[in-house]
Structure 1
Amino acid sequence: MKKALLLLLIWNFNLNAQDTPFNCDYNAYLFQYNDVYAIDLASGNSYTVATDVTEGNINAAAYNPADGFIWGSLSTPSKSIVRIGKDFNTTVFYVDELPTSGRYVGDISATGIYYLKGGGTTYYAINLDPTSANYGKHIATLSLSKSISNHDWAFNAVDGKLYTVEKKTNILYRINAETGAMQSLGEVPILSGLNYTYGAVYFDASGRFYVSANQTGTIYVIQNVQDLDGVNTMESNLFAFGPSSSQNDGARCPTAPVPQEDCSNGIDDDGDGLVDCEDPSCSGYAACPVIAAPTSTANSGGLESNNRLSDKINKRNFNRSKNNYKFDVQKAKKFSKTSHYGKKSKKAGIQLADFIPLDILNEDNVIDSSPKDLLNITNATDLYSVDYIRQGEAVASVLLLKTDKGVYEHTKHICDRLLGAQLISVSTIEISEQRFIKSLIRNVDGSLEFVLSFSAKTTNNDTGFGIESHWNLDKYESNVPFYNFQIWSNSLDDLLRLGEEVIQLLDVQKPISSYNNSEPPTVFVRKGKYHNGKLELQIINTNRTSNIVFDGGLRATETEGVEQVSSSIDLNGNYISNIEVDAGNLFDIGFRIGNGIQTPDDLFMSDGPWGVDDAAPSTTITSYTIETNDEQFNDDEYAVERNIELVAKTSEYVAAYRALTPKFNPIDFSDYKSFQLKAKGTGKLIIRLVKKGISNWESQYKASIKLTENLKEYSIPFSEFTSITGTPITLNDITSVVFTMLAESGEVETKEMTLQQLRFSKNTTLSVETYNENKVLEHTFANPNPMALSTNIHFTALESHKASLKLYNQLGALVKQVDFEVTQGENKIKLGRQGLSSGLYFCKIEGKTKDYRSVKLLIK
């Protein structure tokens, strides 16, 4: 029998003699069961490179410097090892001296000696030097000087020693592979307090030791381990966020470098698209903060990815902004553990609070942060959320929403990437031996959150729970009730603890009978923005896909239907691609990118919305239309896109509002000088600039203009916006602009407003000419300019009417006004100096039906 097996192995070896070696490429390879993943240590991103490469499961994987192949230990056939080529063809070797099972720790020395170990102290040496007469043979059985619980080890090419980290103690050991002598180098600081299995470890050419935690996928780095003596300081840090794994092992050429981020030079040194402090590997280095910033409260969560509900969502956000709603952590109700915690509900049935974890994060307290206003505008029928507070800051949140017909329609990762946030990484986390998708999001304010989402449905005639976790909402079972969990934390370790406890609490109420989880996307949008009809996207392509398809549905305005768009995008196999998609004018867009094989990426983007405040009981909207703006804006203007027409009947008021961002986040307009628009309508229009920092609505800054039945251009210097507080306006935190018309008579009146081409301008003069039936024949100009004692303002009019010449200084203050009659044809108005000081001024002619182009005037 042995002879036959030997002949089979020789035949197999000859058949695959031309297999291609890896020859020290830069990838780290993660083996799980008999599948292989390539990992970019710099970014943590991974992708599948081969599946089912052997009949048995592979463990103790190692790169062999002597032949350039990767080797591993097989579960089947018994007592066998396997050689793996770059094409993932395999050759199996039988080694009679090996135990039948439990071989999960292994690496290969520079001379080709494979050191293979299971539990306990015993390990085995196998010669894998293809030039040796003992090639493929067992050469020694050895024993470690101490028994430790470790799950992988690796050779450092700098000193030729083996290194490993022990589970639970997190102690780093140096091992002489030839003798089994061990040296404790102390606890790894970055791993202190953790209890993970480190099933995949790697080295780079400089002697940096990379340690991957199975459960979270976090990759840690220990610097220059060859210089450690057990007494000097050990430098360690988190490095990247990779995939979780089990039944796994890692292999990498130890003389291949790993790109490192400098953290302070403003350059993406390691090629992962993240610069300096954006890169997780810079956490705690240079001026970069440690990743542990406060998280966002669950009270503001739950509205990320749906255009069907946009009107209701926008009104909810406007009401919060108008009333300056702020969730007060100090006044929030505390959520405390009861004697029923972790026990099956009996009398009252399952309550949402039964699934909320407590006392597992070392939190100071837990507060009820439930955003109850989601119940009226989403498909949630019940909800409960909590924030976990430590030292006065929220460090984690759980948002639980119950739905009756399908999964909850909003997920935290889908939006915000097109509004200033970034998806730093997306991979997996292991809970109850199941892989769930986790993502790391950098919010608009710079804070970092690790995010986990999944849903539970009843199964087996309501006796059990089935768990589903998908990146794409359409993967969930439709038309069934779900308990939907959105969990986020500033710590990946805390995220794992919360996820594990939620699964345990679910299992207490109904045994979990099934899991249906998807893989994360391998091609995803890290960040993007919409500008002037273009979607600018940064795409991360972890598996070097050549082409992807862009499919989307967009709405040009809030009141128009969805238009389907599709295009092919060539990524050329690049890891990072900055591409531009011609989307035209749009209000919102939902789209998907993918290669048709792996999990696609879904995104949703909405511009700041228009909306109507018709809260007054007597107000009835009779006509409301939003149209695209086809005119171009100047580079020094911040466009408030889309035009609005509103007709209403009211005896009180009606208002239209335009949020500058979808979530009413503030924008800094400190460098701008005026608000400009074209408008017509009935009577006085009050324009409010809503500041986030002002809590009293009546204290917001406002100005007014008189509308006429014909479109006119208006330029309102910010100096004209006043508040009852009497203090000058500061423009550092504007969230929205509100346009209000009052029925000043107290009787029912018809109010109309047409607002076009709204923009914040860095100029106090009008910068856009109106080309319509009242078009001027020549540009307005001053002669002489500069002036000494006087000048003449020249312009041409199409009809006679009354007008005013207004002179503004550089601060936007009106310093002189001359009223006169305009005649059809050429006009000339003399302007005298009369006490005006030297400097730059702006001349503006305002007519009954036309505001003429402003003129800059320099006085000597």
Structure 2
Amino acid sequence: MNKTLLFSKILIALLIGQLAIAQDTPFNCDYNAYLFQKNDVYAIDLASGNSYEVAKDVTPGNINAAAYNPADGFIWGSLNTPTQTIIRIGQDFQVTNFTIPQLSNSNRYVGDISADGIYYLKSGGTDYYKIDLNPQSANYGQYISTETLSQNINVHDWAFNAVDGNIYTVEKGTNILYRINPLTSQVTALGVVPILTGLNYTYGAVYFDADGRFYVSANQTGTIYVIQNVQDINTLSVIDSNLFAFGPASSSNDGARCPTAPVLQEICDNGIDDDGDGLVDCDDPSCSGFGNCDVILPPTTANDGGLESNGRLSKAINKRNYNRVKSGYKFNPKKAKRFTKNNSQSNFRSVNTAESASTNTSFTLQDFIPLTTINEDFAIESTPTDLLNITNATEVFSVDYYQNDASIASILALKTENGVYEHTKYICDRLLGAELISISTIMINDEEFVKSIIKNIDGSFEYVLSLSAKEVNNQANFEVESHWNLDLYQENVTFYNFQIWSDSVDDLYLLAQEVLNLLDAEKTITNYNLSEAPTVFVRKGKYINGMLDLQIINSNATNSVTFDAGYRTSETNDFNYTTSTIDLNQNYITNVQLPTGNLFDIGFRIGDGVNIPDDLFMSDGPWGIDDAQPNTIVNNYEVQPNTIPFAEDVFPIERNITLNATTNTYFAAYRALTPRFKAVDVTDYNVLKFKAKGTGSLEVALVKQSITNWNEQYKATVNLTENYTSFSLPFSDFYSDLSAEIDPDDIVTLVFTMVSEDGSTQTKEMNLQDLRFERGLALSVSDFESETNQNTLVAYPNPMSEVTSLNFNATVKENLTLSIYDQLGKVVYSQQVSASVGKNKVSIQRQNLSSGLYICKLESVNSNYKSLKLLIR
């Protein structure tokens, strides 16, 4: 025989043999659960709930009744077409078909395989089939018998428990756990599963682990529940059940898993990530309600929601929050109007009444707000109408739902006329202290939406979903869009946007379903344009001293992602852009630090170029200007990066400002300590330090969240000169009409104010640099540098209420005369002062002086001290 021909035949034989081996490779009890959605296959890590697609379109027809076969290590399933067909699936997801003539033509969607390789397969009703799938059997691949359950149960999947050899399942509607004896077909009801009480889901995928824990997945929400040690349960037992994880939802769901493979469990009080999902102790859903772990905490109110997903908004949002703080605004749910469908439309407002009239419709946003859907005790209106002037919303309405006097859910509805609403909670919250615990799908009206679970900085959990509806077909119908990325929404159209968050995934499902039903009742929904969730996403992150610190979750074993970012170093600088690659090395969790340099805000996207990317936005606590007075004109406003690197043991207040304005009243610069104007506890520090120069007196206020009367906020005053001075203000020097010393446990913002004391039009300037809170010794009102004018007087505080301190430097030891003049030039106070070389302080009592402006003069033979303006309240 020709050697070439012989070699070719050998090579072909080897290739055929290798192909046969590949197609015949079993799964051999790996740790994954496999979820079949129609003819696509997903691998699920039960510990985290994360899933990724491992095979697509593995066979014509939909796969159901999927089951792992302990006797051969393969996964088996039943097809709806061809009828009377079951399939064997190898590790490479190649399929082998088996025809079983005894099977009916109906869809078989319940199935599992016993330890000895017998396939228990059923559709509706009480009858089920037994098929021999033991490769050691002479009847391998053949029908055995048709058996009948002792009672009819409405179930959609079942599974064998390797511990006791029985079949277990949970019934839709009743949520009863059943045990089925595979030898006698006897069905035993073990009781309602507590964690499922009141739910009406289809449990289309169920699994076991080696210890007899039974995992039940709800099709509609993707939630995975666990029932502990089912082999020990009897009709008198208390069923131990809980949330476990959040997986993908589907209208067609079936699961298969090796029942003797373990599932890692989170120990809820040891401070360790035991199951490897990146969530420690109470952060893990499987710890919900265990020990000291709360079941859930109430979500935030919609009155606070709806803000900050892009750089355009940060300035306006900052001013909105500052005005809320300055006016003492606090939303009080106890005084809010109860929401009923008969309420007036007073909170349904438009920025432009004429524009609103031109686009008038027969419905209002309130028409799409559900009531009694989640059995709330009552609902209140919580509309944040101040969103209208700072976002692209033209109409807004929101409701908070209450049960047992606690908020359990919120809906924020907004109309936008130039594209989708600009904010989603998951885009910005993760870089502000919140964590994205999970991203997964949820099936609502047979459509697949994306839901996320957010752990807020205060420890509360929120289940979040957003959707938007637009009118189509000449305004005859609605089309619904929902995307993770805002740039996927259609541009320049009117949207009715709904952001829904709740303290439970079940209430989220019900509220979103009812919103869709109400939309459909108004105008039939003819199309859904929905996109998937990102498979690689940032769970949490923060910006610290020129570095982005990110934790990235990689649910589909991606090797690397591209990091694309646009950023600004300050509020008044232009955007810069950067691109880099982040190596993930297929790891599930990657902690990465990305050098960015000084930042004010940054928007970035990470993605693998194939799947949906993840988008994030972060804005630091911004600087803002209070120029609200009618005759105040801002001449120059600049924000620049710091001039010094901050030490690790300080609380930095990043970025320096220059503000020049003309006024006959006042103007101010303010700096929020956080992007959301949230209170910060700075009791670990006792001094505010900064460098400053400018014209005249500068009032510094530490604004406490707990004080609603602006006049009672704690303030101090320094005198600015044309040269930079380093100021060190101890907290004890901040005064208030409350008289008590400040407790800096809830500082929201710093406010720097310059006043025209006599009401004339004046141009003033402040230059502030290197602000920070420190823990240390504050020398006095100011720590003078060598460049400071030695003949400067500083009164502290100024304005004064009852007492102030006059501070100055002396070059020689001498006796001085301190005189205070009123505005008519009359001496109203005089005192002899003995000055020593260096820093000096003189205490001045108010005595009988009335409120007003006074001039302080220090008369010296050796020095020419500048006069000081002193304002007495």
| Shorter-chain TM-score tier | 0.7 to 0.9
Counterpart code for 2:207? Y
Determine if the alignment matches structure 1 residue 249 to structure 2 residue 266.
Answer: no
CA contact (8 A) 2:809 2:838 kept: no
Write the letter of the residue equivalent to 2:742: I
Q: 2: CA distance between counterparts of 1:663 and 1:798? A: 38
SS in 2 for 1:414: helix
**Aligned to 2:431, what secondary structure does the other structure show?**
coil
Aligned: 1:476 with 2:466: no
CA contact (8 A) 2:809 2:837 kept: no
Q: 2:744 aligns with which of 724, 731, 743?
A: 731
One of 651, 660, 664 as aligned partner of 1:651:
664
Pick from 617, 621, 626: which aligns with 2:630?
Answer: 617
Describe the SS at the equivalent of 2:564. Answer: strand
Q: Give the root-mean-square deviation of aligned CA atoms.
A: 2.6
Q: Match of 1:327, as an amino acid?
A: F
Say which of 289, 293, 300 aligns to 1:296: 300
TM-score, with structure 1 as normaliser:
0.88
Aligned counterparts of 2:864 and 2:105: Cα–Cα separation in 1: 96
Q: 2:195 aligns with which of 190, 197, 200?
A: 190
Matches within 5 A, 1:785-824: 801=790, 819-821=809-811
Amino acid at match of 1:602: D
Matched to 2:171, the amino acid is E
Q: Hey, what's the Cα distance between the residues in 2 that align with 1:361 and 1:309?
A: 33
- Please state how far the C-alpha of 1:491 moved relative to its aligned partner: 1.3
Task: Report the Cα distance in structure 2 between the residues aligned to 1:314 and 1:484, rounded to whole angstroms.
Answer: 23
2:409 paired residue among 396, 403, 414: 396
Alignment partner of 1:59: what SS?
Answer: strand
Alignment check: 8 A CA contact 1:522 1:543 kept:
yes
Deviation at 1:188, TM superposition (A): 0.8
Whole-Å Cα distance in 2 between the matches of residues 21 and 319 of structure 1? 66
Residues 728, 779 of structure 2: 8 Å contact kept: yes
Show the counterpart of 2:210: 205
Decide which of 221, 227, 242 is 2:226's aligned counterpart: 221
Contact 1:420 1:443 in 2 (8 A): yes
Match of 1:670 in 2: 683
Q: What's the offset of the Cα at 1:156?
A: 0.6
TM-score (norm 2): 0.86
Matched with 1:382 is 395
Aligned equivalent of 1:631: 644
Q: Determine if contact 1:713/1:766 at 8 Å carries over to the other structure.
A: no
Query: Which residue of 2 is the match for residue 425 of structure 1?
Result: 438
Give the CA deviation at 1:17. 4.8
SS at match of 1:232: coil
Secondary structure, aligned partner of 2:711: helix
Contact 2:180-2:188 within 8 A present in 1 as well: yes
Q: Distance in 2 between matches of 1:427 and 1:43?
A: 11
Contact kept, 8 Å, 2:662 with 2:761, in 1: the verdict is yes
For residue 67 of structure 1, report the CA deviation from its aligned partner. Answer: 1.3
Find 1:575's aligned residue among 584, 588, 609. 588
Q: CA deviation at 1:365?
A: 1.3
1:560 matched to 2:573: yes
- Of the three residues 478, 495, 513, the one matched with 1:500 is 513
Could you give the per-residue CA deviations for residues 822-853 of structure 1, whole angstroms, max 9, x where no partner exists?
A: 89xxxx97999xxxxxxxxxxxxxx999xxxx
In structure 2, what residue type is equivalent to 1:137?
Q
Q: Aligned pair count?
A: 783
Whether 1:305 aligns to 2:296 is: no
Which amino acid counterpart does residue 821 of structure 1 have in structure 2?
T
Deviation at 1:304?
A: 2.9
Q: 1:799 to 1:170 in 2, by over 3 A?
A: closer
Query: C-alpha separation between the residues in 2 aligned to 1:417 and 1:390?
Result: 28
Change beyond 3 A, Cα 1:40–1:693: same
Match for residue 61 of structure 2? Answer: 56
Q: Does 1:337 align with 2:353?
A: no
Q: Which residue is equivalent to 1:528?
A: 541
State the match for 2:603 in structure 1.
590
> How far off is 1:101 after superposition?
2.0
Q: Is this contact kept in 2: 1:63–1:253, CA < 8 A?
A: yes
Aligned equivalents of 2:657 and 2:489: distance in 1? 38
2:617 aligned with 1:604, yes or no? yes
1:551 aligns with 2:564: yes
Match of 2:130 in 1: 125
Correspondent of 1:713 among 710, 726, 741: 726
Partner of 2:250, secondary structure, is: coil
User: Could you tell me which amino acid in structure 1 is paired with residue 229 of structure 2?
Assistant: N
What 5-or-longer segments of structure 2 have no aligned partner?
1-15, 346-359, 796-802, 814-835, 841-862, 866-873
Distance 1:466 1:332 in 2: 33
Corresponding residue number in structure 1 for 2:480: 467
Contact 2:210–2:259 under 8 Å retained in 1? yes
C-alpha distance in structure 2 between counterparts of 1:223 and 1:474, whole Å: 44
Task: Give distance in 2, aligned partners of 1:15 and 1:541.
Answer: 31
Alpha-carbon distance change, 71 to 152 in structure 1, aligned in 2, over 3 angstroms:
same
Q: What are the ranges of 5 or more consecutive residues in structure 1 without an aligned counterpart?
A: 1-11, 342-346, 776-796, 807-812, 833-846, 850-860
In the TM superposition, what is the alpha-carbon distance from 1:763 to its structure 2 partner? Answer: 1.3
* Cα 1:17–1:78 shift into 2, 3 Å: farther
The match for 2:460 is 447
Distance 1:798 1:339 in 2: 66
Identity %: 61
- The answer as to 2:696 corresponding to 1:691 is no
Q: Given that residues 427 and 439 in structure 1 are in contact (C-alpha distance below 8 angstroms), is that contact kept between their aligned partners in structure 2?
A: yes
Offset at residue 814 of structure 1 (A): 12
The question of whether the paired residues in 1 share the 8 Å contact of 2:690 and 2:771 is answered with yes
Hey, what's the Cα distance between the residues in 1 that align with 2:301 and 2:312? 25
CA distance in 1, matches of 2:366, 2:248: 31
Q: Distance in 2 between matches of 1:848 and 1:286?
A: 71
Code of the aligned partner of 2:325: S
Per-residue CA shift, 1:561-592, capped at 9, x if unaligned? 11111110001111111101111111000111
Equivalent position of 2:243 in the other structure: 238
Please identify, of 401-410 and 174-183, the stretch whose mean Cα deviation from structure 2 is larger: 174-183
Q: Counterparts of 1:165-180 in structure 2 under 5 Å?
A: 165-180=170-185
* In the alignment, structure 1 residue 67 sits paired with structure 2 residue 72: yes
CA contact (8 A) 1:676 1:715 kept: yes
Aligned residue type for 1:326: K
Q: Could you say which residue in structure 1 is the equivalent of 2:800?
A: none
Distance 2:430 2:344 in 1: 41
CA offsets 1:211-266 (integer angstroms, 9 cap, x no match): 01111111110000011121122111111111111222001111111111111111
- Matches for 1:58-97 after TM superposition, within 5 Å: 58-97=63-102
Question: Taking structure 1 as reference, are residues 721 and 221 closer, same or farther at Cα in structure 2, changes over 3 Å only?
Answer: same
Residues in 2 aligned to 1:848 and 1:61: alpha-carbon distance in whole angstroms: 94
Give the distance between the partners of 1:13 and 1:819, measured in 2 at CA: 96
Matching residue's letter, 1:655: A
> Once the 2 structures are TM-superposed, how far is the Cα of residue 199 of structure 1 from its aligned partner?
0.4
Alignment-derived partner of residue 272 in structure 1: 277
Q: Is the 8 A contact 2:812 2:837 kept in 1?
A: no
Query: Equivalent of 1:28, from 24, 33, 38?
Result: 33
Decide whether the 8 Å contact of 1:357 with 1:498 is kept in 2: yes
Q: Is the 8 A contact 2:811 2:837 kept in 1?
A: no
Aligned counterpart, 1:8? none
C-alpha contact (below 8 Å) 1:803/1:821 kept by paired residues: no
Aligned partners of 1:339, 1:612: CA distance in 2, in Å? Answer: 38
| 2:310 counterpart of 1:320 | no
SS for the counterpart of 1:516 is strand
Query: Conserved in 2, the CA contact under 8 Å of 1:689 and 1:701?
Result: yes
Aligned-pair CA distance for 1:309: 2.3
Query: How far does residue 766 in structure 1 lie from its aligned partner after superposition?
Result: 7.8
Partner of 1:787: none
- Mapping of residues 818-857 of structure 1, within 5 Å: 819-821=809-811
Q: Distance in 2 between matches of 1:665 and 1:800?
A: 39
Letter of the aligned partner of 1:203 in structure 2?
Answer: F
Where does residue 852 of structure 1 map in the other structure? Answer: none
Task: For 2:396 and 2:226, locate their aligned partners in 1 and report how far apart those are by CA, in whole Å.
Answer: 41
